[in-house]
Structure 1
Amino acid sequence: MTAPHPPIPVRPRPRPVRALGVLNIVFGAILLAYSWLMLGGMAFNGMSPGPTEALEEAVVATAKADHEETLRRLESLERRAEHDEAREVFRAERLRREEAGPGVPPQAQMFLMSGEMRGMMAWTGVGAVLGLGLNLALIASGVGLVQRVEWGRRLGLRTAAVKLPVVVVMQVLWLAWVVPSLSRAVGEPVGDMMAAQGGGMPAGMPNMTQLYAVIYSIWGVVVLLLGSTYPIILLVMLRRPGLKAACEPAERRGRAMLLEAARS
């Protein structure tokens, strides 16, 4: 009975390891800069004067006063009209405005919009903070992979294992929580402004809120696909035997080869 042949040592593959290391450094640096930009934007918005509760109440009170003044003026014109046709026009306009109620001007709605975007600000803040830690770890693992050390491979695996569910959860929150409020906060003032200027969406087309919801949803799906692809690549590639062997110390690989030769 012949003795079994010893297993053939795994051939190290240093080039893919270094390539992944460079990609980790590049992607990590880009995403780290993006996280800093998001935090900087949030800090700037926090320092900028925003719509306070008193200001919102003042804008609404002014809109209500203008609405009542317009109704009184239309009622006066209706009483003083000399012809029935003119009287009917003023009456129809007065009834239409009574039914519509007081409305904040579109320009003021755009200014007050930031008060309705707290959900997006919270989402952005959480994503930026998580991005700082994860992308620093991604850069560090890239440095380790370029040097072909085992800790770089392990750190890359752990970073990808955390980054993948973070991307999925953040984009699900974007689609389910942020998109409805954001599209409404942006779409309604834009739609009102277009209507005030005599424009608007053609008949049968979605309104501006629905249009923004579609745009933001498509963006969320694209980010989900792009953001989850690279962590999956890392989880698959960094487990391959050739890449694992390339990250092992040369002394360990040499001892393993000597042991296999001695057994044979």
Structure 2
Amino acid sequence: MLDLNGDMLPDLQTANGMHLKRPPVGRPAGQSITLGADIIKRSLVAQAGAEVIIYEDPTELMATGTGGEPLLVEKPTYFVTIESAPFATVANGLEVGVSSLPISRAKIFVDDGLGQGPKTGTLTYMVRYEFTRAYMKSYPDFTDQIMHSFTQGLADTADALLLGAIAAGTPQPAVNDVAQPNLPLQAFSLGDAAAKNVRFDELRALIGTNAAGAAVGQDGVLRASGVRGELTPAIAPTIVGAFSRAAIMIRSSVDVYAERVSVNPLSGSMAVTAVAALQPLTPDLSRFWTAA
């Protein structure tokens, strides 16, 4: 069991300095970080402003009466976005109109713990490696290198899952927990961003494989529709938006299974399988657009 909130990323360099792995960009020498922090550092959606929630299942002990057995009850948890209250002038003698609540939220779901699979919204992702004992021994710090592969893979999976949900125009219950219809994203314009009260500094572009609207300026900065961007293989279109209005949940516990799959003494093949749970949280898609 890997604890993304508590387990530390393996050291990148051995004590004698003989073996050096590729370090994350900007990591100070000698600094130790958790697996979850490394995922956040590597995630493109996190760099664009989205929340990456390394989520530990919350439970609360509840009594069932004076002589009853205590129960562990799941506590509802939400990702919430809040916008400005629409104040307006009201003439004397007139009633103020009723405004819609500027609060949107998406509930975080986790496994039900009963072996019935994930609840609605949570997706299970798995990866499996198989290798011989000789192959493992030919690589120094082989286990550490697999761990780095896991953190990079979880970051990439989080990017793909959240960007896919945004591109599909699939909002999770946004108004009073009532599901909203799918709405295709509209083409980006600065006027639309201004109308949605989005500041220019909030905007980021993640440029998919069709590179729509993307260009490198004379200053060497990559932009899409004038907005600073970054390349991603996760989607085809280019998404421009205020990514602080979206989040991705990664369950803090990642199950890892190591098993011997061959008893042949000459090969001694092993398999390592990792199982993770993720959920995109998109309560408000009105501040995301596609680049033409």
Same fold (TM over 0.5): no
Choose between structure 1 and 2 for higher RCO, CA contacts under 8 A separated by at least 6 residues.
Answer: 1
Task: Give the structure with the higher percent strand.
Answer: 2
TM-score (norm. length: structure 1): 0.26
TM-score (norm. length: structure 2): 0.25
Structure ID, larger Rg = 1
